[in-house]
Structure 1
Amino acid sequence: MVRKTLSAIKHKISLFTLIMISSALVISVRNFPTEAETGMQMIFFALFAAIGFFIPVALVSAELATLLPKQGGIFAWVKAAFGDRFGFVSSWLQWTYMMIGSVPMLYFIAGSLAFVMMPALAHSKPFMALIVLLVTWAATIYNFRGLKASGKISTYGFLLGVLIPGVLIILFGIIYWVTGNPIQMNMSLTAKNIIPDLSKLTTLVLLVGFMRTFTGIEVSASHANEVKNPGRNYPLAILVVVVLALALNILGSLAVAIVVPQQQISLAAGLMEAFKVFFGQFHLAWLVPVLAILTAIGALGEITTWTLGPVKAVYASAKTGALPKFFNKENKKGIPVRLLIVQATVISLIGCGLLLMPKLNTAFWMANAMACCIYFFMYAMMILACLKLRYSMPKAKRAYKIPGGWFGIWLVSLVGLATLVFGFIIAFLPPAQLHVTDATAYLTITIGGITTLLIVPFIIFALRKVWQTR
């Protein structure tokens, strides 16, 4: 018995690994050029996304994870508040978002590799499809080895592919600034320069883009039962990740905006082209292929981390009978292998299927808009669950509580919910660069897709008695 307990402790993940896993879920350098293009207004956008969305969601995640430390994750939280049905729905929505949201990461890896090997490959759909399949299935099979192994990839991916490139960009941005080079953006601290025109559609769409940058902070809670001292370590990990995410995103994007002229950012064909201009200012163009490889490693770490996170919440609901028993199989590492195989199959179909679309950009944006909306819906369920459990489980032990008593929990909940409602509505709108000719058809397809994605888990849950009686 003692040996078994010691073995269990030995195989639990440390605070450092939890921070790396959580960071890999949330932080990326992919968004630096897009955010840099907004100039000083990125401060407004980042603060809006942080105060209205990221911080409320992080605080709620920390409280819920310490309330239910042995059964962490969105399924356990929402189930405790609203029952099995909504617990399953929340985990299903998180899982669906992951399967759609993985596709941009896969395309990014393909684009980065193409940049190093042969830039023309970035426009080759067979090459893109090959990378989608190779990375998806490699990440899936690797995750069969368990959370410890997955945590190593998350750690190396974040350190090599996010932290090192991010710090390098910030460092060179500071050097460029202090050595008296011409600043490529207007840095005046006037209201006009910092606060964007909120009456413009493009501005509102950008706000949602910044919100999406900070999604995923709650996913690592699905591993709470494999964390050493989750009551202490999970809130601490969340705090570190929030600070890291805000610092890297704002400082990294500012560095790019200071060095690269705005016109060249907007014309840049993605991250690598923007970095080519950035490091060209220092006569260090040779660094760009190195960064391409590093950021591809970072995206690989991100994919590997996302592969195992949401599926564990769905697996927890499957064990209660929400899915057929076929999906309950796990290997000796406790990994739901059949669900992972289903997940990899769906990601492969979406990733390769979108490449066959005649208007790839429009189809890609619509898929992401749908995923974003259902994820916002899940976040609303999570916030409401936290609020409800304050009333239904007032005396339950919480190693961390949102400060401020009842006023604090209500303020955080209302701010978070209001921001999510705003994001949900705005996510329907196409960005100007898509040049959508039939807005009615676009909205009809998008609304129909979101409605379908929201209804599917309710239908599956309603059918659970069919397989429970077999």
Structure 2
Amino acid sequence: MRPKGSSASSTPDIANRKMFSVAALGLLTAATVVTSLRTLPMMAQEELTMFFYIGFAALLFLIPAGLVSAELGSAFSERTGGVYTWVGEAFTPKVGFVAIWLQWIECIVWYPTELGFAAAAVAYAVGDNTIAQNTYYIGGFCILAYLLATLIALTGTRFLVKVAQFGFLVGIVFPCLILIILAVWWVVSGNPIGWETLTDPEVAVRRDGYDHPRWFPHINGLGAIAFLGGILLAFAGVEAQATHVSELRDTRRGYPAVIAIAAVISILVFTLGALSIAAILPYKEISVETGLFTAYERAFGQLLGVQWPVQALSWLIGYGALSGALAWLAGPSRGLLATAQDGMLPPWFQRENRVGVQKNILLAQFVVVAAISSIYILMDNVSTAFVLISVMAISLYIIMYIMMFAAVIRLRITQPDLPRSFRIPGGLPGVCIVAGIGLISVVFALVVSFFPPEQLTIKNPVTYVALNLAGIAIAITVPLLIFYFHNPSWRGEGGHQQQSFSDIDE
């Protein structure tokens, strides 16, 4: 019988080897934050006001979330479960279960939007971008691509990590570097810079008879900045690989460095990538769906008189988006396995394959993702489906972050002597300030997420809000019902390594 404090799995691939270096887990964490270049056009569409939004997300969300994840991750470095362990230790196992459930469900809802972008990239790669608006193509691609990702995940963490890391470098970092080089070349060659020709009052202000780019958003109601939640979600995920902290070779001191690597890479990719698109394309030509590819086409056509590199880069970008999905497969589903081993899910969900991968949870994920991907097939407008699915994902994830920020404060109060190799500076006041800033930012983003973004056309705002509310209600009610009806006999042999959970049935 495995002792209660032992690892959740005895397989060499998962538990008995310290398989991650700081750099390796740092890249994997960066890949869960920058899952693709999909959000660059959305940021670029804000022109120079992007610095406000990116600064808001980085300073008031990414950095607090990173610091909180570093402290919690180092405190429970020998425990798997991620936010389940953190929130469960701070409050109760039930609350921890809701937290990991929200993170897992957010991933499920998010996968089709990410893979939909990969489908668009492949459409450009084959030279027929018109099929990117074909709902049957998008839906079918999402289902098949996620099936491939699941099969890769089932081979084991080592192979999955290698594929995800390689995809991040060649499918995200490399295309972004090419975009930045093209933008610099575009500017030094004397071509018109996109933000120098602005006239739209949303992104430009008129002074002394001339139009100048805005540096601060034109706020005429909450709807004007509602898509801030989307940019906030673009920086989310820094905590997602915390389930692998026990596999880090330098568990206690290495995880803060992992967070730092991921944060720096994320800020650089988003800022420089979006700025490059805004430099190459006029404001009116930046499309949320196709702006990235249009920027490549314009730059290569104008500077080199060729288009074939766009197709080559599109293949890489599609692979990068797929690798982003792979990076997320490795984290939240592992945390959900910990809850299953603690008896919160039926024994069927505890089953692992010969290399220690949570095979039945991944199978359940595939079924749900395939069902959600069918929305693309059933709806006439792919853009509408993209927006509606994204709205739900934003709200669910923000609520999980509220729980995480609250957890770090409570743990400093209830377990002040818990060994932490990394502590947020300033004692309890410092933790309250850092986590408080994070709480304020995510609560604000949650509120504005109920207002349809003015940058996107939503015919029925009531539907927009109703779907968001319904998604939140269902996502929170389901784990509470599961916990209420769970059977103590579901608990696996020895359970998950929750030594300080006083009573798993509370």
Q: Does 1:175 align with 2:185?
A: yes
Segments of 5+ residues of structure 1 without an aligned counterpart are none
| Structure 2 counterpart of 1:31 | 39
| Structure 1 counterpart of 2:472 | 450
Separation in 1, partners of 2:488, 2:403:
27
* Counterparts in 2 of 1:113 and 1:358: CA distance versus 1, 3 Å: closer
* Counterparts in 2 of 1:375 and 1:109: CA distance versus 1, 3 Å: same
Aligned to 1:291, the other structure's residue is in SS state helix
| Structure 2 counterpart of 1:150 | 160
Selected match of 1:17 from 24, 42, 50: 24
Contact 1:185/1:262 (CA < 8 Å) preserved in 2?
yes
Contact 2:32/2:238 (CA < 8 Å) preserved in 1?
yes
Contact 1:26/1:216 (CA < 8 Å) preserved in 2?
yes
* Counterparts in 2 of 1:261 and 1:444: CA distance versus 1, 3 Å: closer
| Structure 1 counterpart of 2:504 | none
Separation in 1, partners of 2:478, 2:166:
37
Aligned to 1:70, the other structure's residue is in SS state coil
Contact 1:78/1:381 (CA < 8 Å) preserved in 2?
yes
* Counterparts in 2 of 1:78 and 1:136: CA distance versus 1, 3 Å: same
| Structure 1 counterpart of 2:107 | 98
Q: Does 1:244 align with 2:254?
A: no
Deviation per residue, 1:371-397 (Å, 9 max, x gap): 211111100111111111111111121
Aligned to 2:343, the other structure's residue is in SS state helix
Q: Does 1:194 align with 2:215?
A: yes
Contact 2:104/2:336 (CA < 8 Å) preserved in 1?
yes
Separation in 1, partners of 2:31, 2:378:
30
Aligned to 1:322, the other structure's residue is in SS state coil
* Counterparts in 2 of 1:460 and 1:207: CA distance versus 1, 3 Å: same
Contact 2:223/2:453 (CA < 8 Å) preserved in 1?
yes
86-95 vs 177-186, greater mean Cα deviation: 177-186
TM-score by length of 2: 0.87
Deviation per residue, 1:134-187 (Å, 9 max, x gap): 211111111112211111011111110011111111122223333443322149
Q: Does 1:365 align with 2:387?
A: yes
Aligned residue runs from structure 1 range 214-225, under 5 A: 214-225=235-246
* Counterparts in 2 of 1:192 and 1:173: CA distance versus 1, 3 Å: closer
| Structure 2 counterpart of 1:269 | 290
Contact 1:20/1:154 (CA < 8 Å) preserved in 2?
no
| Structure 1 counterpart of 2:500 | none
116-125 vs 383-392, greater mean Cα deviation: 116-125
Segments of 5+ residues of structure 2 without an aligned counterpart are 1-10, 198-203, 493-506
Contact 1:259/1:281 (CA < 8 Å) preserved in 2?
no
| Structure 2 counterpart of 1:45 | 53
Percent of aligned pairs with the same amino acid: 31
Separation in 2, partners of 1:295, 1:411:
39
TM-score by length of 1: 0.93
| Structure 2 counterpart of 1:350 | 372
| Structure 2 counterpart of 1:114 | 123
440-449 vs 95-104, greater mean Cα deviation: 440-449
Separation in 2, partners of 1:127, 1:268:
15
* Counterparts in 2 of 1:381 and 1:5: CA distance versus 1, 3 Å: same
How far has the Cα of 1:449 moved from its partner?
2.5
Contact 1:13/1:148 (CA < 8 Å) preserved in 2?
no
Separation in 1, partners of 2:31, 2:479:
28
For the aligned residue pairs, the C-alpha RMSD in angstroms reads 2.5
Contact 1:361/1:434 (CA < 8 Å) preserved in 2?
no
Contact 1:256/1:278 (CA < 8 Å) preserved in 2?
no
How far has the Cα of 1:11 moved from its partner?
5.5
Aligned to 1:222, the other structure's residue is in SS state helix
Q: Does 1:129 align with 2:139?
A: yes
Q: Does 1:231 align with 2:240?
A: no
Separation in 1, partners of 2:237, 2:225:
21
Deviation per residue, 1:393-412 (Å, 9 max, x gap): 11121111112222221111
166-175 vs 302-311, greater mean Cα deviation: 166-175
Aligned to 2:355, the other structure's residue is in SS state coil
Selected match of 2:278 from 257, 261, 282: 257
Contact 1:40/1:186 (CA < 8 Å) preserved in 2?
no
> Number of matched residues?
467
* Counterparts in 2 of 1:440 and 1:312: CA distance versus 1, 3 Å: same
Deviation per residue, 1:201-254 (Å, 9 max, x gap): 443123222111101110010111222112122110110111111111111111
262-271 vs 135-144, greater mean Cα deviation: 262-271
How far has the Cα of 1:125 moved from its partner?
2.8
Separation in 1, partners of 2:253, 2:385:
43
| Structure 2 counterpart of 1:213 | 234
Separation in 1, partners of 2:124, 2:461:
35
* Counterparts in 2 of 1:306 and 1:417: CA distance versus 1, 3 Å: same
How far has the Cα of 1:35 moved from its partner?
1.1
How far has the Cα of 1:355 moved from its partner?
2.4
How far has the Cα of 1:90 moved from its partner?
0.5
Separation in 2, partners of 1:7, 1:355:
37
Separation in 2, partners of 1:435, 1:290:
32
Separation in 1, partners of 2:420, 2:337:
25
How far has the Cα of 1:263 moved from its partner?
1.7
Separation in 2, partners of 1:21, 1:107:
22
Separation in 1, partners of 2:266, 2:454:
28
The one-letter amino acid paired with 1:93 is: L
Separation in 2, partners of 1:431, 1:5:
48
The one-letter amino acid paired with 2:254 is: N
Q: Whose helix fraction is larger, Structure 1's or Structure 2's?
A: 1
The one-letter amino acid paired with 1:352 is: S
* Counterparts in 2 of 1:114 and 1:78: CA distance versus 1, 3 Å: same
Separation in 1, partners of 2:240, 2:328:
8
How far has the Cα of 1:9 moved from its partner?
6.5
170-179 vs 227-236, greater mean Cα deviation: 170-179
Separation in 2, partners of 1:391, 1:328:
33
The one-letter amino acid paired with 2:21 is: S
| Structure 2 counterpart of 1:406 | 428
Separation in 2, partners of 1:39, 1:94:
31
Aligned to 2:267, the other structure's residue is in SS state helix
Contact 1:11/1:148 (CA < 8 Å) preserved in 2?
no
How far has the Cα of 1:257 moved from its partner?
1.2
